[in-house]
Structure 1
Amino acid sequence: MLRGSGHRSHVAWDIETTGLSWSDQITVSGFWLPDGRARLILNTNGDDVDMHAFDQHLEDVSGGVPVTVITTSDEQGLLQAMHQLVFDYFDRDYNRLIAFNAESWKSGFDLPFTRTSCIAHGVDWMFDGIEFADLWDPLKKRLNTTYSSYGSTSETNSLTGSHAILFDQHHLVDQFLSEWEGPWYRDHEYDPFDDSGSAIGHYQRGDYLPVLQHNLADVHRTWELGELIRVFVSQKDITAKKL
């Protein structure tokens, strides 16, 4: 496959929140590492939880993804845990952070939200100097993720929509996956929600496991799309920057 020695390994990232406002908080911050392992940081809002039971359940429902859940009692603790995780697992010379619509040239959510949370809690910027690429633009401009039916066209350039179109509908991807020496997990049926907004009510009721499942599925999809873009899209068409 077209993976040169100069290409950085991808670390996929995604957050869940209680809403879109500056006053809302991060509930889960998930990372998918290049070795196929996932680290999910959960803000328990002070509740006592069995994180080892979460680990086992998530591994079972995802078909074998090695998952570690890190729990913190509040958002400040979650941000500090993110800082420690980046320090422990992110190689600044060889890794690249990727996300979907976290920050593109005219939009984005995850990075602005996290910056404001760091400022509010007095936590240092955990991604300082890290190379970052957003998947939104290359998916929208370099791959066709538009669905049309009966003369009407609707854009399906969402994370779940793009992944379903590119991975579930094309036999070429099956060949790509079979040849790729990497940790592929094709079954994403463990995602309990159609979108991140559906997770808010569960989190507010203290039902954390479905929220973790959704975040795991999203970082999983993000990593797989990043690898697909690596092979089929020129590096010149992927905008990377230092955060």
Structure 2
Amino acid sequence: MGTKLTPVAFDVETTGFESDSTVTVLGLVLPLGCRVFLNAGGRPADRDRLERELETEFDAVVRVSCHRNERELLAAVAEFVAESIADDDYMLVAYNGELYRGGFDLPFLRTRCALLDCRWPFDGVPYADLLPIFRARFNTTVDEEQVNDLEGAYQALIGDGLTALDPFADSREAVAAFERGEFRPLLAHNLADILRTDALAGVAQRYCGTSEFDLKSLTPTLRDPSLTGR
């Protein structure tokens, strides 16, 4: 079933790794283009300009929405997923987004949703993590060392095209950009990651069998009452 579903690549940017850190950007890649949600932290953000500059830079369709805070961002993501992704032929994919004993993006989002009493955004969506596939089913050895991080796997198997478009070398630079209100490079960093993830999902679908995609449901045991009519 996994390889018959269309992957939706996903990644988040945050202000840190602690439970009281904040989601600053959440990006998704769909067949028609990239959908990026920005937490502007109450500061002005020129959405139209951001879209124009990012579309030119990445040669891709990019749609940006700007939100005053993290709560509004999470609510917007949940609404978008319910309308455009959930209960359809899509699977959410991430690179080290959530594993059996690890991963970052989904556990972080659960904690933030719980602390803010927000609706879980990925109700009705199956999920597959790409890291185990590339760790076990591809040779990504470079200079006698196996590289399994997102950037390393992408460079080993695809090239460095998107790496050249990523303005940051590590997540600390993305945190600093958010604090300074430098939204374009912050969004460019997220776009580079979700497009790398999307490209690797395509490689995995092309060369791996269905069983390699260890699909899990992201639908919670107690669904949001507003969704029971769907």
TM-score, length-normalised on structure 1?
Answer: 0.85
Residues 44 and 6 from structure 1, CA distance in 2 versus in 1: closer, same or farther, beyond 3 angstroms? Answer: closer
Partners of 2:2 and 2:209 lie apart in 1 by: 15
Partners of 2:195 and 2:42 lie apart in 1 by: 27
SS in 2 for 1:223: helix
Partners of 1:65 and 1:204 lie apart in 2 by: 27
Structure 2 residue aligned with 1:165, among 156, 163, 179? Answer: 156
Residues 69 and 34 from structure 1, CA distance in 2 versus in 1: closer, same or farther, beyond 3 angstroms? Answer: same
- 2:198 is the alignment partner of 1:223: yes
Using the TM superposition, give the Cα deviation of residue 235 of structure 1 relative to its aligned residue in structure 2, in angstroms: 1.1
73-82 or 83-92, larger mean C-alpha shift: 83-92
Tell me if structure 1 keeps the 8 A contact 2:55–2:62. yes
Partners of 2:88 and 2:63 lie apart in 1 by: 24
Residue correspondence of structure 1 range 1-243 to structure 2 within 5 A: 7-35=4-32, 37-62=33-58, 64-148=59-143, 153-168=144-159, 187-243=162-218
Tell me if structure 2 keeps the 8 A contact 1:43–1:72. yes
Partners of 2:188 and 2:209 lie apart in 1 by: 32
Partners of 1:162 and 1:129 lie apart in 2 by: 29
Partners of 2:166 and 2:216 lie apart in 1 by: 31
SS in 1 for 2:134: helix
Partners of 1:112 and 1:84 lie apart in 2 by: 20
CA RMSD of aligned residues (A): 1.7
Tell me if structure 1 keeps the 8 A contact 2:2–2:215. no
Instruction: Give the letter aligned to residue 158 of structure 1.
Output: D
Partners of 2:104 and 2:2 lie apart in 1 by: 31
Tell me if structure 1 keeps the 8 A contact 2:163–2:192. yes
Residue identity (%): 34
Structure 2 spans left out of the alignment, 5+ residues: 219-230
Partners of 2:196 and 2:30 lie apart in 1 by: 13
Using the TM superposition, give the Cα deviation of residue 187 of structure 1 relative to its aligned residue in structure 2, in angstroms: 4.9
Tell me if structure 2 keeps the 8 A contact 1:196–1:214. no
| 1:172 alignment partner in structure 2 | none
Partners of 1:159 and 1:199 lie apart in 2 by: 16
Count of aligned residue pairs for this structure pair: 218
Superimposed CA distance per residue, residues 138-181 of structure 1 (whole angstroms, 9 cap, x where no aligned partner)? 01011112223xxxx43311111100100029xxxxxxxxxxxx
TM-score, length-normalised on structure 2?
Answer: 0.90
Residues 104 and 187 from structure 1, CA distance in 2 versus in 1: closer, same or farther, beyond 3 angstroms? Answer: closer
Instruction: Give the letter aligned to residue 54 of structure 2.
Output: L
Tell me if structure 2 keeps the 8 A contact 1:55–1:67. yes
Runs of 4 or more off by more than 4 Å in structure 1? none
